[in-house]
Amino acid sequence: LAIVALILWHYTRNRNLMDVTNSDFSQFHVVRDKFLISLAVLSLAILFAVTHIHQLIVFIERVA
């Protein structure tokens, strides 16, 4: 997941879709806020994946 996050960060940084400047990292609360937002998005992605994997397992068990 960390590798995927780095790839996405690099991609969005190159496409200028993510507003990140060097001054953003000079203040602790800005870094903390960005980290918490990233952590929340990652948590939702994991929840989404786990839920769908569970549904696939249930579906396969019913078919088999």
- The series of mean pLDDT values per 10 residues for the chain, 64 residues long, is 74 61 68 85 93 95 90
Give the per-residue pLDDT at 32: 83
Give the per-residue pLDDT at 18: 53
Q: Which pair of structure tokens corresponds to residue 10?
A: 């690099």
For the chain, the DSSP string reads -HHHHHHHHHHHHHHT-S---GGGGSSHHHHHHHHHHHHHHHHHHHHHHHHHHHHHHHHHHHH-
Give the Cα separation of 57 and 14 in Å (integer).
Answer: 38
